[in-house]
Amino acid sequence: MADFEVGEVARALHAVRDEWRDRQKRSREPGGREFPSRDALAGILEGLKGVLFPMRLGPPDLRHESEDFYVAHTLDAALHALYAQVLLELTFNARRDTTETVHVPTQVQAQATEVVRRFARALPGLRRLLDTDVLAAFHGDPAARSVDEVLLCYPGVLAMIHHRLAHALYGLELPLLARIVAELAHGQTGIDIHPGARIGAGFFIDHGTGVVIGETAVIGERVRVYQAVTLGAKRFPVDGHGVLQKGLPRHPVVEDDVVIYAGATILGRVTLGKGATIGGNVWITDDVAPGASVTQASLQKAPKVPA
């Protein structure tokens, strides 16, 4: 009857894995290769969202008089769960550089503890920053009727909660955890902010689907962007030998109070000056002066002047 040759297929898959591991110079020794878990981080984020905004993103039946019990317990659980993931990233890094078995040394545990402690200390400041983002969304969208609605419904706010936490992890040299946190938001909102991007207070993304913000972007205060805006790199800088040079500033600098309408693409280490307005769908690879207003129309006209 229905015989799908599972044994043979499994053997063939085994052979392909062996090929890959040989080519990648991976050991085939017994043992697991533990790795941070997307599901675990999703759970941690749920906890942290409740810790930051207990009456809106915490459990539906929470009461004011119990907030502190809930916050302390949930924070405690989330931080210990995060600690386990931090250990995994630190250990994985160590393992990547060697073929020997790696035990989790006391030193790595101490490092993980210190990292989590610093992350925890940063949370109150992140909440304060996020309050500015919530207010920016509330004031920036005439349809918004309350800050509560903004917290609950706006994908741009969800993306910023993830980003501010991811950026803190990035700053603590946990790029992998940071990336997973960012991708969790990307999957839910279509907004893709690299954890390395530095974003000032009062940032508001409206609609949001298709927004991409690159690793070395620097964004000032009270900036507003719409869907499908890209703050990207022109090309990856290479050194004299054609090798990619990582870490060089390659994404735009956006100064305070800039507005960027839907579909605009800003590429390279250009600066959008304070208060500039960038129209929809425009393509920009040069600096824009403070207060300037760039639209597709102005761009189409511009070349005609010298022509």
Q: Is residue 186 a contact residue for a second copy (CB under 8 A)?
A: yes
Q: Is residue 159 a contact residue for a second copy (CB under 8 A)?
A: no
| Sole binder of a second copy in the list 107, 240, 304, 305 (CB under 8 A) | 304
CB 157 within 8 A of CB 131: no
Q: Is residue 289 a contact residue for a second copy (CB under 8 A)?
A: no
Stretch that binds a second copy, among 117-125, 197-205, 217-225, 268-276 (CB under 8 A): 117-125
Return the residues of window 66-85 that contact a second copy according to CB under 8 A: 66-77, 79-80, 83
CB 182 within 8 A of CB 193: yes
Return the residues of window 211-240 that contact a second copy according to CB under 8 A: 212, 215, 227-228, 230, 232, 236
Q: Please, what sign has the CA dihedral across residues 142, 145, 146, 149?
A: negative
- Strand ranges in the chain using DSSP code E only, listed in sequence order: 192-193, 198-199, 204-205, 212-213, 218-219, 224-225, 230-232, 253-254, 259-260, 265-267, 271-272, 277-278, 283-284, 293-294
Nearer to a second copy, 216 or 271 (CB): 216
CB 116 within 8 A of CB 72: no
Stretch that binds a second copy, among 159-167, 206-214, 217-225, 286-294 (CB under 8 A): 206-214
The DSSP letter of residue 276 is -
Q: Is residue 292 a contact residue for a second copy (CB under 8 A)?
A: no
Least Cβ distance, residue 133 to a second copy (angstroms): 12
Least Cβ distance, residue 229 to a second copy (angstroms): 11
Q: CB under 8 Å to 84, separation ≥6 — which residues?
A: 40
Least Cβ distance, residue 220 to a second copy (angstroms): 21
Q: Is residue 92 a contact residue for a second copy (CB under 8 A)?
A: yes
Q: Is residue 300 a contact residue for a second copy (CB under 8 A)?
A: yes
Q: Is residue 1 a contact residue for a second copy (CB under 8 A)?
A: yes
Stretch that binds a second copy, among 62-70, 161-169, 197-205, 268-276 (CB under 8 A): 62-70
| Sole binder of a second copy in the list 43, 104, 111, 127 (CB under 8 A) | 127
Tell me how far apart the alpha carbons of residues 29 and 35 are, in angstroms, rounded to a whole number: 17
Tell me how far apart the alpha carbons of residues 200 and 245 are, in angstroms, rounded to a whole number: 26
Structure tokens at 176: 């992998």
Strands 230-232 and 204-205, bridge-based pairing: unpaired
Least Cβ distance, residue 249 to a second copy (angstroms): 13
Q: Is residue 111 a contact residue for a second copy (CB under 8 A)?
A: no
| Sole binder of a second copy in the list 49, 163, 167, 207 (CB under 8 A) | 207
Structure tokens at 186: 């990307």
